[in-house]
Amino acid sequence: MLGKSCFRDIGCFSASEYNESARSIPLLPMSPDSMSPMFHMYTLEQRTIPRNYSYNATAAQLRYSTFNASLRTAFIVHGFQSGYSLWFWLIGHSLGGHTMGYAGKRLKNPRVARITALDPAGVGFHFKNTALRLDHSDAQIVDVIHTDAALSYTEGFGTADTLGHFDFYPNGGSWQPGCAVSDSVTNKLSSITSGEDITCSHSRACLIMNN
Protein backbone atom coordinates (compact mmCIF):
# COMPACT_ATOMS: atom_id res chain seq x y z
CA MET A 1 0.00 0.00 0.00
CA LEU A 2 3.01 2.28 -0.26
CA GLY A 3 2.45 5.40 -2.31
CA LYS A 4 0.16 8.38 -2.11
CA SER A 5 -3.60 8.86 -1.99
CA CYS A 6 -5.56 12.09 -2.31
CA PHE A 7 -9.21 12.63 -1.44
CA ARG A 8 -11.36 15.59 -2.38
CA ASP A 9 -12.04 18.01 0.49
CA ILE A 10 -9.71 16.05 2.79
CA GLY A 11 -6.19 16.20 1.38
CA CYS A 12 -3.35 13.86 0.51
CA PHE A 13 -1.68 11.10 2.49
CA SER A 14 1.70 9.50 1.80
CA ALA A 15 3.05 6.13 2.89
CA SER A 16 6.23 6.18 0.83
CA GLU A 17 8.45 6.46 3.89
CA TYR A 18 8.19 6.34 7.65
CA ASN A 19 7.43 9.54 9.50
CA GLU A 20 6.22 10.19 13.03
CA SER A 21 2.90 11.64 11.94
CA ALA A 22 2.09 8.35 10.18
CA ARG A 23 2.85 6.52 13.43
CA SER A 24 4.38 3.07 13.44
CA ILE A 25 2.49 1.61 10.46
CA PRO A 26 2.72 3.82 7.34
CA LEU A 27 -0.37 2.52 5.56
CA LEU A 28 -2.60 4.60 3.34
CA PRO A 29 -6.09 5.32 4.67
CA MET A 30 -9.16 3.89 2.99
CA SER A 31 -11.15 6.31 0.88
CA PRO A 32 -14.15 8.01 2.52
CA ASP A 33 -16.39 6.63 -0.22
CA SER A 34 -15.37 3.05 0.61
CA MET A 35 -15.94 3.56 4.36
CA SER A 36 -19.14 5.60 3.89
CA PRO A 37 -18.95 7.42 7.25
CA MET A 38 -22.31 8.76 8.42
CA PHE A 39 -23.25 11.58 10.78
CA HIS A 40 -26.45 11.09 12.80
CA MET A 41 -27.90 14.42 13.91
CA TYR A 42 -30.27 14.56 16.89
CA THR A 43 -32.04 17.81 17.74
CA LEU A 44 -34.71 18.89 20.21
CA GLU A 45 -37.26 18.31 17.46
CA GLN A 46 -35.77 14.93 16.53
CA ARG A 47 -34.75 13.32 19.81
CA THR A 48 -35.17 9.65 18.90
CA ILE A 49 -34.98 9.45 15.11
CA PRO A 50 -31.90 11.22 13.74
CA ARG A 51 -31.43 12.88 10.40
CA ASN A 52 -28.55 11.13 8.65
CA TYR A 53 -25.85 12.82 6.57
CA SER A 54 -22.90 11.54 4.58
CA TYR A 55 -19.43 12.98 5.18
CA ASN A 56 -19.80 15.26 2.15
CA ALA A 57 -23.19 16.73 3.06
CA THR A 58 -23.74 20.24 1.73
CA ALA A 59 -24.53 23.43 3.62
CA ALA A 60 -27.87 23.55 1.82
CA GLN A 61 -28.84 20.17 3.29
CA LEU A 62 -28.14 21.45 6.79
CA ARG A 63 -30.12 24.63 6.21
CA TYR A 64 -33.23 22.57 5.53
CA SER A 65 -32.79 20.51 8.70
CA THR A 66 -33.86 21.22 12.28
CA PHE A 67 -30.30 22.19 13.24
CA ASN A 68 -30.13 25.41 15.28
CA ALA A 69 -26.65 26.95 15.38
CA SER A 70 -27.58 29.18 18.32
CA LEU A 71 -27.93 26.17 20.64
CA ARG A 72 -25.16 24.11 22.19
CA THR A 73 -23.92 21.44 19.79
CA ALA A 74 -22.15 18.24 20.84
CA PHE A 75 -20.23 15.93 18.50
CA ILE A 76 -19.95 12.36 19.79
CA VAL A 77 -17.49 9.94 18.17
CA HIS A 78 -17.27 6.21 18.95
CA GLY A 79 -13.98 4.32 19.28
CA PHE A 80 -12.59 1.77 16.80
CA GLN A 81 -15.40 -0.44 15.54
CA SER A 82 -18.10 22.62 10.02
CA GLY A 83 -19.06 25.01 12.37
CA TYR A 84 -16.84 27.39 14.29
CA SER A 85 -19.24 27.90 17.16
CA LEU A 86 -18.15 28.69 20.70
CA TRP A 87 -21.00 26.45 21.82
CA PHE A 88 -19.54 23.27 20.31
CA TRP A 89 -18.79 20.50 22.79
CA LEU A 90 -16.87 17.58 21.28
CA ILE A 91 -17.12 14.20 23.02
CA GLY A 92 -15.18 11.09 22.04
CA HIS A 93 -14.44 7.66 23.48
CA SER A 94 -11.15 5.82 22.95
CA LEU A 95 -9.92 6.69 19.43
CA GLY A 96 -12.81 9.13 19.29
CA GLY A 97 -11.15 11.20 22.01
CA HIS A 98 -8.15 11.84 19.78
CA THR A 99 -10.43 12.39 16.79
CA MET A 100 -12.06 15.24 18.68
CA GLY A 101 -8.58 16.58 19.37
CA TYR A 102 -7.88 16.66 15.63
CA ALA A 103 -11.13 18.53 15.08
CA GLY A 104 -10.24 21.02 17.79
CA LYS A 105 -6.83 21.65 16.25
CA ARG A 106 -8.52 22.77 13.03
CA LEU A 107 -11.21 24.93 14.64
CA LYS A 108 -9.03 27.72 15.95
CA ASN A 109 -10.88 30.96 15.22
CA PRO A 110 -12.54 30.79 17.63
CA ARG A 111 -11.67 27.58 19.44
CA VAL A 112 -14.41 25.12 20.36
CA ALA A 113 -15.71 25.51 23.88
CA ARG A 114 -15.02 22.05 25.24
CA ILE A 115 -13.67 18.60 24.46
CA THR A 116 -14.45 15.63 26.70
CA ALA A 117 -12.34 12.53 26.10
CA LEU A 118 -13.59 9.27 27.59
CA ASP A 119 -10.61 6.99 28.28
CA PRO A 120 -8.70 8.14 25.17
CA ALA A 121 -6.75 5.38 23.47
CA GLY A 122 -3.17 4.77 24.49
CA VAL A 123 -2.15 2.27 21.81
CA GLY A 124 -0.48 4.26 19.04
CA PHE A 125 -0.81 7.59 20.87
CA HIS A 126 2.13 7.61 23.30
CA PHE A 127 3.68 10.66 21.63
CA LYS A 128 5.14 13.84 23.05
CA ASN A 129 4.22 15.62 19.82
CA THR A 130 0.85 17.19 20.60
CA ALA A 131 0.00 17.37 16.88
CA LEU A 132 -0.50 13.60 16.98
CA ARG A 133 -2.82 13.28 19.97
CA LEU A 134 -5.37 15.07 22.12
CA ASP A 135 -3.95 18.10 23.93
CA HIS A 136 -5.26 20.76 26.30
CA SER A 137 -4.72 23.38 23.59
CA ASP A 138 -7.35 21.77 21.34
CA ALA A 139 -10.27 23.55 23.07
CA GLN A 140 -10.96 26.19 25.68
CA ILE A 141 -11.62 23.38 28.17
CA VAL A 142 -10.40 19.81 27.73
CA ASP A 143 -11.48 17.30 30.36
CA VAL A 144 -10.48 13.64 30.35
CA ILE A 145 -11.81 10.60 32.21
CA HIS A 146 -9.27 7.74 32.46
CA THR A 147 -10.66 4.31 33.35
CA ASP A 148 -8.25 1.84 31.69
CA ALA A 149 -5.06 3.90 31.93
CA ALA A 150 -1.72 2.29 31.23
CA LEU A 151 1.87 3.45 30.98
CA SER A 152 2.42 1.27 27.91
CA TYR A 153 0.27 -0.33 25.23
CA THR A 154 0.91 -3.79 26.71
CA GLU A 155 -0.99 -2.99 29.92
CA GLY A 156 -4.29 -1.46 28.85
CA PHE A 157 -6.34 0.21 26.13
CA GLY A 158 -6.22 3.74 27.59
CA THR A 159 -3.44 6.19 28.34
CA ALA A 160 -2.22 7.36 31.73
CA ASP A 161 -0.82 10.58 30.26
CA THR A 162 -2.36 13.86 31.39
CA LEU A 163 -3.84 15.38 28.23
CA GLY A 164 -6.36 17.99 29.32
CA HIS A 165 -6.92 20.89 31.65
CA PHE A 166 -8.66 18.43 33.97
CA ASP A 167 -7.76 14.72 34.02
CA PHE A 168 -9.84 12.46 36.25
CA TYR A 169 -8.73 8.97 37.32
CA PRO A 170 -11.74 7.23 38.98
CA ASN A 171 -10.65 4.32 41.17
CA GLY A 172 -7.05 5.07 40.25
CA GLY A 173 -7.85 5.31 36.56
CA SER A 174 -6.99 1.75 35.59
CA TRP A 175 -8.87 -1.35 36.71
CA GLN A 176 -12.53 -0.60 37.51
CA PRO A 177 -14.58 -2.43 40.18
CA GLY A 178 -16.73 -5.19 38.72
CA CYS A 179 -14.42 -5.74 35.76
CA ALA A 180 -12.13 -8.72 35.34
CA VAL A 181 -8.51 -8.12 36.31
CA SER A 182 -6.21 -8.54 33.31
CA ASP A 183 -2.63 -7.37 33.47
CA SER A 184 -2.04 -6.87 29.76
CA VAL A 185 -3.74 -6.28 26.45
CA THR A 186 -2.51 -9.72 25.40
CA ASN A 187 -4.40 -11.33 28.27
CA LYS A 188 -7.46 -9.23 27.51
CA LEU A 189 -7.47 -10.31 23.88
CA SER A 190 -7.06 -13.96 24.89
CA SER A 191 -10.25 -13.57 26.93
CA ILE A 192 -12.36 -13.08 23.80
CA THR A 193 -12.93 -16.82 23.41
CA SER A 194 -14.19 -17.06 26.99
CA GLY A 195 -16.87 -14.47 26.36
CA GLU A 196 -15.37 -12.05 28.88
CA ASP A 197 -15.97 -8.34 28.30
CA ILE A 198 -12.43 -7.21 27.54
CA THR A 199 -13.42 -3.54 27.33
CA CYS A 200 -15.17 -3.36 30.69
CA SER A 201 -12.77 -0.87 32.29
CA HIS A 202 -12.19 0.92 28.98
CA SER A 203 -15.93 1.49 28.49
CA ARG A 204 -16.59 2.49 32.10
CA ALA A 205 -15.73 6.12 31.27
CA CYS A 206 -18.91 6.35 29.17
CA LEU A 207 -21.05 5.11 32.06
CA ILE A 208 -19.38 7.51 34.48
CA MET A 209 -20.15 10.45 32.23
CA ASN A 210 -23.76 9.32 31.72
CA ASN A 211 -24.24 9.22 35.47
68 or 154: which leads in pLDDT: 68
pLDDT in tens, 31-72: 888 878 888 888 888 888 888 888 888 888 888 888 887 888
Range 123-152 average pLDDT: 89
What's phi and psi for 193, nearest 5 deg?
A: -65, -20
- Of the residues 119, 138, 148, 167, only one is catalytic, namely 119
Catalytic annotation, pick one of 93, 94, 98, 143: 94
- Rounded to 5 degrees, φ, ψ at 137 are -80, 0
Are 57 and 50 contacting, i.e. CB atoms less than 8 angstroms apart?
no
- Indicate if the pLDDT at residue 88 is higher than 80: no
Q: How confident is the model at residue 174 (pLDDT cuts 50, 70, 90)?
A: confident
Q: Is 40 a catalytic residue?
A: no
Q: What is the DSSP string of 52-91?
A: EEETT--HHHHHTSS--TTS-EEEEE--------TTEEEE
Note if the pTM is more than 0.85. Answer: no
Helix (H, G, I), strand (E, B) or coil at 143: strand
**pLDDT value for 96:** 92
Query: Collapsing DSSP states into helix, strand and coil, what is residue 6?
Result: strand
d(CA 50, CA 77): 15
Catalytic pick from 93, 98, 136, 202?
202
**pLDDT classification of 26: cutoffs 50, 70, 90:** low
Q: How many degrees, rounded to 5, is the angle at CA 5 between CA 2 and CA 11?
A: 140
Residues in the chain: 211
Residue 24 catalytic?
Answer: no
Classify residue 170 by burial, with Cβ atoms within 10 Å: 0-12, 13-18, 19+: middle
Domain residue extents for the chain: 1-36, 69-210
User: For 69-210, CATH number?
Assistant: 3.40.50.1820
Q: Is residue 94 among the annotated active site residues? A: yes
